[in-house]
């Protein structure tokens, strides 16, 4: 099995590109949402760590947002609890799909949290800043302050791009994205 990690800026279309590969996708953002909605153990840990902010189950994302925006250290506390669980889910996903030719890892902090292996094929999704901002503003839960907090914990885009084996220019046109993906899969 070959693991393909998808990297890029927030809102660059990583999840869309990941799905276009046509192989099983581990979507970390989706897993985090599930943890907030269904995992009582995560709720109890977050409530214990952030009692002023986390008080209802399922966890409301607005509680998480308030916690992150109110104090720098809160994001680190959340990451410490949530990412441990996401990593477990990823390991289950990998085991479940070990017979597949490829699996796609759509994990925003793949490099930052050292989740990638040396053998992983890394693909950088590059999009124009103007397009990214337009897309982000269309999201109904877009929060500029939160966006900046997340940007601050990420490695620079230029560093991520250098670490990648391939770059896909995402012009939000499915034909060009799919062509690029076909070429990558042929090369691997």
**One domain, residues 60 and 105:** no
In-domain check, residue 112: yes
In-domain check, residue 29: no
Closest to 21 (Cα-Cα) out of 48, 3, 39: 3
Residue-wise pLDDT for 21-41, tens only, equals 999 999 999 999 999 999 999
pTM (predicted TM-score): 0.89
Q: What is the pLDDT of residue 20?
A: 93
> Which residue among 75, 96, 117 closes a domain?
96
Average pLDDT, rounded, for the chain: 91
Q: What angle do CA 71, 73, 75 make, to 5 degrees?
A: 90
**One domain, residues 18 and 107:** yes
3 DSSP β-pair partners: 103
- Higher model confidence: residue 132 or residue 81? 81
> Which residue among 96, 121, 145 closes a domain?
96
In-domain check, residue 50: yes
Give the pLDDT band (50/70/90) at residue 121.
very high
Q: What is the pLDDT of residue 141?
A: 77
In-domain check, residue 30: no
Q: What is the pLDDT of residue 53?
A: 95
Q: What's the total number of domains in the chain? A: 2
CATH of the domain at 119: 3.40.50.300
- Higher model confidence: residue 109 or residue 52? 52
In-domain check, residue 32: no
Q: What is the pLDDT of residue 152?
A: 82
Spatial CB neighbours of 24, under 8 Å, sequence gap ≥ 6: 93, 97, 100, 103, 104
Give the pLDDT band (50/70/90) at residue 14.
very high
Q: What is the pLDDT of residue 138?
A: 81
Query: In this model, does residue 148 exceed pLDDT 90?
Result: no
Query: In this model, does residue 130 exceed pLDDT 90?
Result: no
92: containing domain: 37-96
Query: In this model, does residue 100 exceed pLDDT 90?
Result: yes
């Amino acid at each position: 099995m070959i693991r393909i990690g998808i990297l890029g800026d927030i809102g660059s279309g990583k999840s869309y590109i990941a799905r276009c590969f046509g192989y099983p996708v581990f979507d970390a953002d989706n897993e985090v949402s599930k943890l907030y909605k269904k995992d009582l153990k995560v709720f109890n840990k977050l409530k214990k760590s952030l009692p002023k902010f986390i008080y209802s189950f399922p966890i409301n994302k607005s509680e998480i947002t308030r916690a992150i925006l109110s104090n720098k250290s809160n994001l680190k506390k959340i990451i410490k609890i949530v990412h441990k669980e996401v990593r477990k889910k990823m390991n289950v996903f990998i085991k479940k799909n070990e017979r597949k030719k490829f699996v796609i890892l759509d994990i925003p902090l793949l490099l930052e949290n050292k989740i990638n292996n040396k053998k992983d094929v890394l693909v950088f999704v590059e999009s124009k800043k103007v397009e990214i901002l337009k897309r982000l503003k269309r999201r109904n839960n877009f929060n500029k302050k939160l966006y900046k907090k997340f940007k601050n914990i990420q490695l620079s885009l230029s560093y991520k791009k250098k670490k990648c084996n391939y770059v896909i220019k995402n012009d939000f046109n499915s034909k060009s994205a799919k062509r690029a993906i076909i070429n990558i899969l042929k090369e691997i």
